[in-house]
Amino acid sequence: MSTPYPFTAIVGMDDLRLALLLNAVCPAVGGVLVRGEKGTAKSTAVRALAALMPELRIVSGCRFSCDPVTPDPACPDGPHEPEPGEVRPARMVELPVGASEDRLVGALDIERALSEGKKAFEPGLLAAAHRGLLYVDEVNLLHDHLVDLLLDAAAMGASYVEREGVSVRHAARFLLVGTMNPEEGELRPQLLDRFGLTVEVAASREPDERVEVVRRRLAYDEDPAGFAARWRGEEAALRQRIAAARALLPQVRLGDGALRQIAAVCAAFEVDGMRADIVTARTATALAAWAGRDQVLAEDVRKAALLALPHRRRRNPFDAPGLDEEKLDETLEQSRGEDENPDPEGPGGGGCRPPQDAEGGGPQAPAPRDSPENERTNERTDEGSSAPQGAGEQSAVPAGTPFQARLLDVPGLGEGIAGRRSRARTAHGRTTSARRPQGALTALHLAATVQAAAPHQRARGRSEPGLIVRRDDLRQAVREGREGNLVLFVVDASGSMAARQRMSAVKGAVLSLLLDAYQRRDKVGLVTFRGTGAEVTLPPTSSVEAGAGRLEKLPTGGRTPLAAGLLKAREVLRIERLRDPSRRPLLVVVTDGRATETGAVARGPEPVGLATRAARLLAADGAASVVVDCESGPVRLGLAGTLARDLAGTLVTLDELRADTVSALVRDARRAA
């Protein structure tokens, strides 16, 4: 086994180290989500923590790490007889992003269960992580169905495997630690709330600190064992301090004054539900124990709030994480009680039980961002103004108010990554048909299996009621659900789009579609064209937050190289098709349909002809397209409709993007009928 990097040798990152240590003291805090840019030693810190966890006593030979003092009565390897057991280190189990469901929860041999009536169960990663640490690197890239299974196990402290009436249950209580790079996409709100604490990390900007980081890392790489030996004393002292804090934890008192402060802070920041209050109370109690005190002070509540609330107050993916510390201090001051002494009759331990008994871890549209600078921009580009075609570059205008967008999907049936946009064959969803299994049987279609086996019962010598099922009779269920797509926005930022505040409405519409893409688990990309050409403003990514930031800063002006924009989009789709062939694209072209170029030929058939040829090339590639018609005013040329026909796509107006508009049209049509 390789020598882990010592926890005490980590330079800086005080919040990260504290959050990890608080979970080691009180696992009921519920784990840590570490957010930060690549190369900031997130994984190194998590692996170093595992070496500090106390050793466990388990039942000898138990694959589910049962405690010999209180074994799980429903353990699949049980029942267990009383015994002293054996001692081993706490495990750190890593969940790969590409893990299968069977790898996570365990594999049940359905064929043996049906033919022999035996439960042959191979434990998965959840069983291995019981009473230890479950680490998910790049947790934001984890497939949705694995996230659901992880949430269920973390909430109930147990994992259930149900397959066609055959079920296995085992304990799964663990410390959940996840790391992620926000540039690659955000987490679902349900999973965000499941992490007890969150920490933002970034590389230090202090030269001396960066030098020390490099010096220690080079020394470790040269001689891991020797480097760890030099820090053995500090590691032992830290391990003793964790043990002392755990022993003190049940004696820490959380008084009514501290509870009122916690409730006031959670209410002031409008967090959803009550989990934030509970986690903050447990964290404050662990902070007091870590400091060697038997009472919770206001400083503990403040620090606990900074760790437990930032990820719970986000209302949409475009909100910046973090807390307003001035507001936090004001709220704490207003709610400060008569004193900070604990209530003698108050609850103890803040809900943190001794570690051996504690269970593990267990959108409205965003408001427009107004500022004095944006107000000045509004004054310069009021509703009555009109930018002439081919005007020079103008400063970026703010996006209009986002709205709930209608569903735009890719026709046909895909086989891409599970999501919520287009129809696809998926591992989870409604059963539509059956087929012979190709490899291991994962989802049994019971009716089709019985139908296949029934005609052969007499030949198999079956005379009594019942059914003899053989391997050739088994049928795999074919299921249909939804997939995530690549939504590539091609946005016209030319001078014609800047007229009459049109660009503000366009940005609001694209922002609404970005929010819709976040909710439907899509990848997004942004191509813009104006002036003399087109550029990839945002390469395809899972971070819609990055897309919103690029859109907000988008300037307008110049002529309209529509053909260049379409050809640039075609190139992006070609490259993405090679990288991820199973993810189907959806091209969303936001334009008024005009095509002009710079140079001798400013207008005329040539730019239009180039755009037509580019559109037909995209149609020949089979790319699904939607053209959002941004033309406004009493006189309309209908050029966007022509572009939609050339793309073999769908035409919608800005108003028709709204889900409420579509619903109203449907209601009017029904009334007319």
Give the model confidence (pLDDT) of 180-236 as tens digits.
887 777 777 777 777 889 998 888 888 888 899 899 999 999 999 999 999 999 999
pLDDT of residue 288: 94
pLDDT of residue 469: 83
Rounded (10°) angle between helices 325-334 and 298-308: 140
Given a cut of 80, whether residue 406 has pLDDT beyond it is yes
The three-state secondary structure class of 435 is strand
The three-state secondary structure class of 415 is coil
CB distance 40 to 11 below 8 Å: no
Rounded (10°) angle between helices 298-308 and 14-25: 100
Q: What is the CATH number of domain 372-410+485-669?
A: 3.40.50.410
Q: Please choose, from the candidates 527, 604, 611, 594, the residue with its C-alpha nearest in 3D space to the C-alpha of residue 560.
A: 594
| Confidence label for 342 from pLDDT (cuts 50, 70 and 90) | very low
Query: CATH 3.40.50.300 region(s) of the chain?
Result: 7-64+80-97+129-247
Separation CA 115–CA 97 (nearest Å):
34
Question: pTM of the entire structure?
Answer: 0.67
In the set 57, 241, 275, 658, the catalytic residue is 275
pLDDT single digits (tens) 630-658: 887 776 788 999 999 999 999 999 888 88
Q: What are phi and psi of 128, to 5 degrees?
A: -65, -30
CB distance 254 to 284 below 8 Å: yes
| Confidence label for 392 from pLDDT (cuts 50, 70 and 90) | low
Retrieve residue 429's tokens.
Answer: 């969803």
Given a cut of 50, whether residue 321 has pLDDT beyond it is yes
| Confidence label for 111 from pLDDT (cuts 50, 70 and 90) | low
Given a cut of 50, whether residue 601 has pLDDT beyond it is no
At 369, the amino acid letter reads R
Top-ranked range on mean pLDDT: pick from 56-70, 138-152, 511-525:
56-70
Task: Render 350-402 in DSSP notation, one character per residue.
Answer: GG---TTTPPTT--PPPPP---HHHHHHHHHT-TT--PPTT---BPPPPP---
pLDDT of residue 352: 66
Work out the average pLDDT over 303-329.
78
Query: CATH 3.40.50.410 region(s) of the chain?
Result: 372-410+485-669
Given a cut of 70, whether residue 664 has pLDDT beyond it is no
Handedness of CA 309, 310, 311, 313 (dihedral sign): positive
pLDDT of residue 354: 52
| Confidence label for 590 from pLDDT (cuts 50, 70 and 90) | very high
The domain covering 252-351 belongs, at the CATH homologous superfamily level, to: Magnesium chelatase subunit I, C-Terminal domain (1.10.8.80)
Instruction: Give me the residue label for tokens 């049936």.
Output: 413
pLDDT single digits (tens) 23-50: 989 888 888 998 887 777 788 888 888 8
CB distance 85 to 58 below 8 Å: yes
Chain centroid offset of residue 443 CA:
26
Active site residue 430: no
Work out the average pLDDT over 5-28.
89
pLDDT single digits (tens) 74-107: 888 888 888 888 898 888 899 887 787 888 888 7
CA angle 486-490-496, nearest 5°?
A: 160
Query: CATH 1.10.8.80 region(s) of the chain?
Result: 252-351
Instruction: Give me the residue label for tokens 């009565």.
Output: 73
The domain covering 7-64+80-97+129-247 belongs, at the CATH homologous superfamily level, to: P-loop containing nucleotide triphosphate hydrolases (3.40.50.300)
CB distance 455 to 490 below 8 Å: no
pLDDT of residue 347: 54
Task: Please give the DSSP secondary-structure letter assigned to residue 606.
Answer: H
Share of the chain above pLDDT 90, in %: 24
pLDDT of residue 620: 94
Task: Please give the DSSP secondary-structure letter assigned to residue 229.
Answer: H
Given a cut of 90, whether residue 344 has pLDDT beyond it is no
Separation CA 37–CA 557 (nearest Å):
34
pLDDT of residue 654: 87
Given a cut of 60, whether residue 507 has pLDDT beyond it is yes
Burial class for 653, CB neighbours closer than 10 Å (0-12, 13-18, 19+): middle
Residues 6+ apart with CB under 8 A from 501: 381, 382, 383, 385, 397
> Is the bond preceding residue 366 a cis peptide, omega within 30 degrees?
no
Average pLDDT score over the chain = 80
Number of helices (H) and strands (E), helices first, in the chain? 22, 19
Task: Render 478-525 in DSSP notation, one character per residue.
Answer: EEEEEE--EEEEEEE-SGGGGGGGHHHHHHHHHHHHHHHHHHTT-EEE
Given a cut of 50, whether residue 284 has pLDDT beyond it is yes
Query: What is the separation, in whole angstroms, between the first and last Cα of the chain?
Result: 73
pLDDT single digits (tens) 477-498: 888 888 889 999 999 988 877 6
Residue bearing the bigger pLDDT, 114 or 667: 114
Chain centroid offset of residue 378 CA:
35
Which of 183-192, 393-402, 595-604 has the least mean pLDDT? 595-604
At 439, the amino acid letter reads G
At 378, the amino acid letter reads N
